[in-house]
Amino acid sequence: MNPATPTLDQIRNFEGKYPKQLWSLFTIEMWERFCFYGMRGMLTVFMVTQLGLGDKDANLQYGAIQAFVYAFTFIGGVFADKILGFQKSLIWGAATMIVGGLVIAFSPKDMFYIGTCFSIIGTGFFKPNISTMVGQLYKDGDSRRNAGFSLFYSGINLGALLGGAIMIWVGKNHSWRLAFALVSVAMTISLITFMFTRKNLGPIGLSPFGPGVSASRRKFLEIATYVGSLLTIPLVLKLVTNSRYTDLFMYIIGPATLVWLGWEMRKFNRQQNKRICAALVFIMFSVLFWAFFEQSGGSLSLFALNNLNHSLLGIPMDPNVVNNSSNSLFVILFAPLIGIVWVWLSKRKLEPSSVVKFGLGFFLLGLAFLVFAWTKMFANTATGMTSLDVFTLGYFVITFGELCLSPIGLSLMTQLAPTSIQGLMMGMWFLASAYGQYVAGLLGAGMSTADAAAPAMVKLSAYTDGYRQLGIYALISGAVLIALSPMVRRLMKGVH
Which pLDDT belongs to residue 303?
A: 93
Q: Are 232 and 121 in contact (CB under 8 A)?
A: yes
Q: 105 to each of 51, 108, 111, 117, 200, how far by Cα in Å? A: 15, 6, 8, 14, 34
Residue type present at position 166: I
Helices (H), 232-318: 233-241, 243-265, 270-293, 299-307
Q: 74 to each of 149, 240, 411, 433, how far by Cα in Å? A: 20, 17, 17, 10
Q: Are 284 and 261 in contact (CB under 8 A)?
A: no
Would you write out the chain's pLDDT as a tens digit for each of its 496 residues?
455 788 888 888 888 778 888 889 999 999 999 998 898 889 899 999 999 888 888 888 888 888 888 888 778 878 887 888 888 999 999 999 999 999 999 999 999 999 999 999 998 888 777 877 888 888 877 778 767 877 787 788 899 899 989 999 999 989 999 999 999 999 999 999 999 999 998 888 888 887 778 888 889 999 999 999 999 999 889 888 887 788 888 888 888 888 888 888 888 888 888 888 888 888 889 899 999 998 988 889 999 998 999 999 999 999 999 999 999 999 888 877 887 787 788 788 887 888 888 899 999 999 999 999 999 999 998 888 999 999 999 999 999 998 887 767 767 777 887 877 776 777 788 788 888 888 988 898 888 876 667 788 988 999 999 999 999 999 999 999 999 888 888 888 766 5
Angle subtended at Cα 163 by Cα 23 and Cα 392, rounded to the nearest 5 degrees: 110
Q: Are 128 and 430 in contact (CB under 8 A)?
A: yes
- Structural domains in the chain, CATH included, are 8-492 (1.20.1250.20)
DSSP 83: I
Which pLDDT belongs to residue 189?
A: 95
Q: Which residues contact 69 (CB under 8 A, 6 or more apart)?
A: 36, 119, 120, 123, 124, 434, 437
Which pLDDT belongs to residue 414?
A: 73
